[in-house]
Amino acid sequence: MADANPPTLSYLFPSGGQRGTDVQVRVGGLFLHANSQFEILGPGVSIQAPLKRIPFLWFDGPLLTLTESQQAEDYPKELSTFVRIDKDALISKRLARVWNSEGVNGGWKFELGDFPEIIEKESEHYHVPTSISLPITINGRIYPKNDFDDYQIKLNKGETIDAFVSAERFGSPLDARLEILNSKGEIIADNDDASGVDPALVFTAPVSDLYLVRIRESSGKGSPAHVYRLSVSKNPNINSAYPMGAKIGSTTKFEVIGSNLSFPVVELKVSDRIGYQVFPNSNLLFDVSNATEYLENSSGGNSSAINAFPCAINGRILKADEVDSWELNLEAGQKLQFESRGIALGSLCRPKISIADATGKELASAVSIAELDPVLLFNPTVKGKYTLKIAEEIPARAGSAFNYRILVHTDTSKKASITFVENSLTVLRAGESTLNLKIERPPGFDSKVDLSFGTLPQGVVVVPPVPSFAKGVSQVAVKIKANPEAKIDSFLLDVSATIPEQPPVVAHVQSKPFDFSLDKLRVAVALPCPFKIAGEYNMKWGSRGGTLSRNYKLERLGYDGPIIVDVADKQARHLQGVHGVPKVIPAGAVDFEYAVQLGPWMEIGRTSRICVTGVATIKVQGIDHIVSYCSVNPNEQMIAVLESGKLDVSSASPNIGYEAGKITLIHLEIFRAPGLVGDVSLETVFPDWTGIKNVTTIVKAESSKVSIEVPIHSGLDAAFPVFINSNLKQTNSSHEAKLRLELVPKAFSAK
């Protein structure tokens, strides 16, 4: 039996919404069959309708050179549903998961906010800036490659706006860059990385003007998955707060830094819920604990030695090369954990934590690794005074936003926690998969920990029957097995453990501070595909813009019904315009031919590798299940080296001058290779914003020249492109060509 093709959740668009609204969400991914199901986790967010297939608009983007065109590329399909967000839903990022008969996948996040929201109008061609009013959250994506989006706003001199991008934080591959341009087109403010690779900037208008907020991909990449949420406002916005945490139920004063703030200090009544919480008027978190809070004094430490734990130590690295010192009275054998929280809370400080004895000798230290907060374990051998030292890892960096927060735990105050490494798991019927769990142990706790699993569906078992973390071990791999009769379905799995002197520990999905915490893993028992697409290695020549076909065989492994063959979602290389149409292989057939249309702009001499997929509906235990097989192996690919095309369309000049309010003529010449005879269909494609209607013109077989009339509206005064798509159909093949021209105002051209 072939493996299944588990679905891949490649993106959500939009990837969030305003509280108190219903949002139409496009769910994009690979192998998302019509029977796929979808969820967004956490209270206050609900799915209002089953997923429904919608047309997918693919933008090919610019021509890729040979090296880049050899890279793998995904071609997602889209489903759609409506998501309802309650007005009092907790602001956080919610995990989304999708599943079907072939498996389950998750990892993309859905973000909740309070600003009014819009969705950009996507276009493959030039577009005009979108005018916005504040506050606003804009949902868009950088697609195709080298795309950028402009948003226009009028600002008076001295007005300040705050703009920040969410992309990396909810799963997008976008490495965004923000720019502010004035009416002359000059970049006068920009930011690349503020929180991870997500940019943010605060901009004060130097003069009254019409400004552009531009978002682009830092390296010129782009795809349907390069989704972003750009929030822009004149509202008060807190970017940094000190201290970064407070005690549960307390009333605490925070020193704040941000834009459009009335006062430098905000007094806040802290809730009675332990954990990370969102600071009002901000995209910022603060930490709530039940420990004693300490704030540094003017010398960068505490006035008297700390001898009661647990506690929370708060300070700032205000000057270059500053080292803050905190005196501690410790007992011999006292097991302590020093846990930094600053990086998780958005601080610029990358703290180095160290412990020194009374003589000043450093005994232990820890620094951040891979943008994670450092954690230091320390067990003093003798009773006495020790010094906790905190410094910026890069000594030259310092300032009022370089805050730190260190939680000091003991072996009794720190509680064990267990996490699922994955958020979902696919188990093939008659197969097995590995479930990975981690335990965070309190200082000094290294005992064996047995795990308890919730009720499993019939035919699904855990191996070993009672998994455990061995003594001193922090990770465990558990096998989940499904027997040949297990039901093809998904279920929610919960895992817990009993540890002395603390409440039962329930495993949670591994998450980040803004994420809504989840305590259940979704497991899918998947149906293996009972057929394969096979073939011998075959490389041939293919003409650019022409038809390419090859013969295949079906290895039927118990399924004799019809199979639909199409170009696959998952490709070994960028297709560069290759496209095909679904073909039904009738029941019982084992030989078939499949044809695709090669892109009209593909590079001559490059090797095209095209993967196809077969999809079938199979009834198991009275239920219809959709399964698929993807031809990823070289023997199963359609492989061709590209040669010149047999159809071409040209113009005497790449630029055509026009006058607003008049008709402009585009003169074209058709080239047909020797032996190629037939009518040519020409379709014009203009940007939507021009208001020019696209038309189709037929050039008869005996003609090679044509003039197309283009009525130009009186209000147009900008350059814009037009694409000429041409097609000549024959009995068993088709030939395509594509031409891009630029229409330019004659006055502008002359100038």
Q: What is the pLDDT of residues 279-336, one digit of tens each?
A: 876 778 899 999 999 999 988 888 889 999 999 999 999 999 999 999 999 999 999 9
Contact between residue 532 and residue 557 where contact means Cβ atoms under 8 Å apart:
yes
Q: How far apart are CA 444 and CA 378, in angstroms?
A: 10
CA atoms within 13 A on the CB side of 564: 12
Q: Could you give the residue range(s) of every CATH 2.60.120.380 domain in the chain?
A: 117-233, 236-412
Mean pLDDT of 477-484: 96
* Confidence check: pLDDT of 630 > 80: yes
Q: Any idea which architecture 117-233 has in CATH?
A: Sandwich (2.60)
**What pLDDT sits at residue 28?**
97
Joined tokens for residue 505: 């520990």
Mean pLDDT of 164-182: 95
**What pLDDT sits at residue 2?**
53
Q: Kindly report which listed range (105-114, 367-376, 434-443) carries the lowest average pLDDT score.
A: 367-376
Q: How far apart are CA 201 and CA 138, in angstroms?
A: 16
Strand order in the sheet with 384-392: 323-330, 384-392, 351-356, 362-366
Q: How far apart are CA 29 and CA 34, in angstroms?
A: 12
Mean pLDDT of 490-511: 92
Q: Could you give the residue range(s) of every CATH 2.60.40.10 domain in the chain?
A: 8-113, 647-750
Instruction: Show Cβ contacts of residue 353 under 8 Å, excluding neighbours closer than 6 positions.
Output: 338, 340, 365, 366, 367, 374, 376, 388, 389, 390, 406
Q: How far apart are CA 711 and CA 659, in angstroms?
A: 10
Q: How far apart are CA 182 and CA 185, in angstroms?
A: 5
Residue 545 Ramachandran class (φ > 0 left, ψ -120 to 50 alpha, else beta): left
CATH 3.40.50.300 fits domain 420-526: no
Q: Which residue has the higher pLDDT, 369 or 329?
A: 329
Whether cis (ω within 30° of 0) applies to the bond prior to 243 is yes
**What pLDDT sits at residue 492?**
97
DSSP structural state of residue 635: G
**What pLDDT sits at residue 750?**
45
Closest to 456 in 3D by CA, of 419, 478, 481, 484? 481
Q: How far apart are CA 309 and CA 408, in angstroms?
A: 7
User: How many angstroms from the chain centroid is the CA of residue 343?
Assistant: 21
Contact between residue 7 and residue 104 where contact means Cβ atoms under 8 Å apart:
yes
Contact between residue 150 and residue 213 where contact means Cβ atoms under 8 Å apart:
yes
Q: How far apart are CA 751 and CA 747, in angstroms?
A: 6
**What pLDDT sits at residue 689?**
85
Strand partners, 620: 623
Closest to 290 in 3D by CA, of 345, 246, 228? 246
Q: What is the 3-state secondary structure (H, E, C) of 289-311?
A: ECCEEEECCCCCECCCCECCCCE
Question: H helices within 487-620, ranges in order?
Answer: none
* Local confidence band at 748 (pLDDT 50, 70, 90 cut-offs): low
Q: What is the pLDDT of residues 29-80, one digit of tens each?
A: 999 999 999 999 999 999 999 999 999 888 877 777 777 778 888 999 999 9
Q: What is the pLDDT of residues 191-238, one digit of tens each?
A: 998 878 999 999 999 999 999 999 999 999 999 999 999 999 998 888
Taking CA atoms, 460 is separated from 270, 426, 429, 619, in Å, by: 45, 12, 9, 21
Contact between residue 598 and residue 548 where contact means Cβ atoms under 8 Å apart:
yes
Mean pLDDT of 122-147: 88
Q: How far apart are CA 602 and CA 48, in angstroms?
A: 43
What SS3 state is found at 61?
coil
Q: What is the 3-state secondary structure (H, E, C) of 175-224?
A: CEEEEEECCCCCEEEEECCCECCECEEEEECCCCEEEEEEEEECCCCCCC
Mean pLDDT of 590-619: 93
Q: What is the pLDDT of residues 380-391, one digit of tens each?
A: 999 999 999 999
CATH 3.30.1370 fits domain 531-643: no
Q: What is the pLDDT of residues 432-457, one digit of tens each?
A: 999 999 999 988 889 999 999 999 99
Residue-wise burial string across 75-91, b where 16 or more C-beta atoms lie within 10 A, e elsewhere: bbbbbbbebebeeebee
Mean pLDDT of 83-96: 93
User: Pairing between strand 417-420 and 508-509?
Assistant: parallel
What is the value of pTM for the model shown?
0.89
Torsion, CA 109, CA 112, CA 117, CA 121, rounded to 10: 10
* Local confidence band at 1 (pLDDT 50, 70, 90 cut-offs): very low
Q: What is the pLDDT of residues 374-427, one digit of tens each?
A: 999 999 999 999 999 999 998 889 999 999 999 999 988 888 999 999 999 999
Terminal alpha carbon distance of the chain: 68
Which class is 647-750 in CATH?
mainly beta
* Confidence check: pLDDT of 528 > 70: yes
Mean pLDDT of 687-715: 93
**What pLDDT sits at residue 751?**
43
**What fold does the segment set 8-113 form as a domain?**
Immunoglobulin-like (2.60.40)
Instruction: Show Cβ contacts of residue 438 under 8 Å, excluding neighbours closer than 6 positions.
Output: 418, 419, 421, 474, 475, 510
* Confidence check: pLDDT of 126 > 70: no
Taking CA atoms, 750 is separated from 415, 658, 746, 747, in Å, by: 75, 11, 6, 5
Residue-wise burial string across 674-706, b where 16 or more C-beta atoms lie within 10 A, e elsewhere: eebebebebebbbbeebebeeeebebeeeeeeb
* Confidence check: pLDDT of 460 > 90: yes
CATH code for the structural domain at 236-412: 2.60.120.380
